[in-house]
Structure 1
């Protein structure tokens, strides 16, 4: 046997015998003073589990005394992990009463020509559920149908009769209860065959037990520190008034103890990344849009984007519809713009043939929880187009917003029904998809997500369209972090934008980049009722380097103390 095997066997023996040791009457009552007397007689390090086993002491009581002595500085205690197999409650029942299969066989021998239902009524469902099948498998019992088989005449149909009755009988001599014997070996620490142990574990008769022991080493001044009178913990006003404090023995202060956590508010990781999004867009020359409309009309959310009213994204599987108010106020929508959108859907214009269907005003006025903040973009672009018309001069525009949107999604590791969208657009002349790709590379270099991939996509209101993907080291795959494209003329011309103006736009995720930056694998650990409050209290600082600092190519971030950390976590 190797040294490692002997150590593992010793650990198993300690763990398996601990419970038994607790039930054996001790040689004499255990107290802290008893432990002090014992340690005074030895000069070597002592392991608490072995000590409890040898002296027949309760290990929990020993640990309590050890921690008390450690607080005085009389000893040092190093934690040691021990693991081993122990019998479960069912396993201990098997040792005391026999295994389920043996109990079934014994019952059948005691009650010849019995049935399975009768056995169940005597032994219980749990015993029979396990033991009956095991006894049948070992061929210790058998079942026989007591109803004679009826011979059918030619052409005679088989009539449906009562269900057959199976009588259970025992076969051969009484078997040896090998399961109980194996469990006894587990209790004594003698069973080491891994295959047998796993088989018993599968039957839930044994389980792995992990125990923590302590290696005790005495301090040079052990006797004086261990036997010193217990000091006073607090200085009181009465002690000061009476002068008692001058001669009192006070307990030394432990400056290594962790103080109580202050009940202060904490910033959620999403709020940190959201604020960095905003700061980055401001640095790039964008202005922020108003996003205070959670409830939108389908007109601004879908129709203005040249999205047909029969589009799958507009049904109940993807959209939350409002019951009250059920319809938006028609007078809040510019009448001429509404008519231009209707004409573009039905007949087209500006080189487009439209969708060629009968557009419904009632459908356009239905109220929904907005599925994207592009509805805000539509409002801003329309207002800007009208302003430029009045001034007689075109003026470029760059806007963004970061706010919540709602989708009737199935929740999983990367999808929520309510999430954030970072919306943005640039409106100017001669813009192309190349400008859009360059903008993303610049933006995400500030966020320190550099492994970007772009994939062609389809959107009803952009052409060309493009999805953005970022690599998640924890999931070891790329995940979608945004969608983008160039707005179609069918969307822009009804607004009144000039023919030579193009608009590049995007909708970026906030949750998924936060997952990448903080190494979170499941979005439900970031948002929702399952999130641990301690995650917010202890979440690391997400440190974003300046773009030139991130050019080392290793996707590392620089922390405030000068160290580097992978995945931007400090």
Structure 2
């Protein structure tokens, strides 16, 4: 039988009579522990060794514990100071004892709580009475710390638990592997095992020296099981987001960016969403408590938006006739849609005044207090987009979607009239799931109303949309549940192996 040199060294160092630790074999064979571990598992596959794994607990002293080894536990120091001050006969002022014991800061509370717990004394009305029968020299926790510092075991688990709770000892677990020769391994050694000849690795030294020209390389079993190596990779959903960005950029759009936390003004008020709309309650959106409101808003724009809410725009305008307060508009929320970015850009707040024609998009995360199901998560990615130009029509809107979705092989997008407070006309978008055949909603769209555009200072048409990235990915990949694509329940094999196809 022939074995590689490192395997033979492990086999010869192992014992048939008792298990031996990997670390001991590594030291004796003068090999790295990881090399010995790999060789042991390879020999186990050949039936020559048995490998046993056990979990052992290590106890390590913290820095605080090492201080107490020199100075003593705070409660012991307080008790000794109390005894010296005569507190076994009459209570002594706590302040005096703390000075005698040299205790201050957090150690004071530690000493007081453990003094009573261990029966060293009692504290009443700011004075300490010491127990004359207490034995600080026999303090089990102090003795355990000393034993651990000397590398000796502590068998009393209750004492160890107390030290762990006090953060004086840290528990760690490690896997210990031991190996033992099998009968087949003993037989192989008795019959004789030779070192497998030849080089096992092509190294820079072998190349530079020219040794490779005449070297006898060791043969490899190409059918042997190899370790799976899972390298880091981009999340499939992020790959899809980058693909969407490439498509929209190719269609002439520029990318927007902005805050995840924003004022209700930008998220809702600028969109002509009434302040008493059900979607603006905290049942649907996540509000911040610290800070609770934005500091700076453009005063002129706030006034124009408030007027649109109260009175509408134009001669025949009609507002909501519902309460509107700047206090609510200043409230900070996690954005429920990225249309807050559109409002910042269209108003000139983000990039300055924009002259038509303009096309902008974003692929950003949004947050909603939805019920989790196959098509809803508390956070997801929205594909936001808008086009600013003169004389836009519904045909332009539909044509844009037809072109966009065709880039992903989706040709059967359908539209349904819908109501939005901020667009008129408005349309929901639907696509057919390739696996189930089910029609699923994939987005919302429309042409912004004058009540939105006029306060922003925009005097041309703007068509806009918000599409769900995850639902687009469901259509592309055939995933049947949004939680299979995004979230904490996604299967790791999916993340490692899924390919984004379009």
Q: 1:495 pairs with 439, 447, 456, which one?
A: 456
Which portions of structure 1, spanning 4 or more consecutive aligned residues, are displaced by more than 4 angstroms? Answer: 228-237, 249-252, 384-389
Number of the residue aligned with 2:341: 376
Whole-Å separation in 2 of the counterparts to 1:322 and 1:428: 36
Residue in 2 that maps onto 1:307: 273
**C-alpha displacement of 1:358:** 3.2
Where do residues 263-412 of structure 1 align in structure 2 (5 Å cutoff)?
A: 263-291=230-258, 293-329=259-295, 332-350=296-314, 351-383=316-348, 387-388=352-353, 394-412=355-373
Aligned pair count?
299
Counterpart-to-counterpart distance in 1, 2:462 and 2:359: 10
CA contact (8 A) 1:421 1:509 kept: yes
Which runs of 5 or more structure 2 residues have no equivalent in the other structure?
1-44, 48-190, 201-215
The answer to whether the 8 A contact 2:285-2:334 is kept is yes
1:439 pairs with 2:432: no
Q: Residues 38-187 of structure 1: matches in 2 within 5 Å?
A: none
Q: Residues 352 and 233 (structure 1 numbering): CA distance in 2 closer, same or farther, change over 3 Å?
A: farther
Give runs of aligned pairs for residues 26-45 of structure 1, distance below 5 A.
none
SS at match of 2:288: coil
* CA distance in 1: counterparts of 2:402 and 2:266, whole angstroms: 30
Superposition RMSD on alpha carbons, in Å? 2.7
Partner of residue 461, structure 1: 422
1:296 to 1:251, Cα distance in 2 relative to 1, 3 A: same
| Structure 2 length-normalised TM | 0.56
**Match for residue 384 of structure 2 among 411, 423, 426:** 423
Answer yes or no: is 1:510 the counterpart of 2:469.
Answer: yes
Match of residue 525, structure 1, among 468, 474, 484: 484
- Give the SS at the match of 1:264: coil
SS in 2 for 1:270: helix
- What TM-score does the superposition give when structure 1 sets the normalisation length? 0.50
CA contact (8 A) 2:313 2:450 kept: no
Cross-structure match for 2:31: none
Task: Give, in whole Å, the separation in 2 of the partners of 1:357 and 1:509.
Answer: 31
Matched with 1:253 is: 220
Task: Tell me how far 1:474 sits from its aligned partner.
Answer: 2.5
Over 3 Å counting, the alpha-carbon distance change for 1:303 and 1:233 in structure 2 is farther
Whether the 8 Å contact between 1:287 and 1:400 is mirrored in structure 2 is yes
**How has the CA–CA distance of structure 1 residues 385 and 405 changed in structure 2, closer, same or farther, with 3 Å as cutoff?**
closer
The CA deviation at 1:282 is 0.7
Q: CA deviation at 1:384?
A: 7.7
Secondary structure (helix, strand or coil) at the match of 1:467 reads strand
Larger relative contact order (CA 8 Å, sep ≥ 6): 2
Distance 1:401 1:234 in 2: 61
Distance 1:261 1:68, change over 3 A: closer
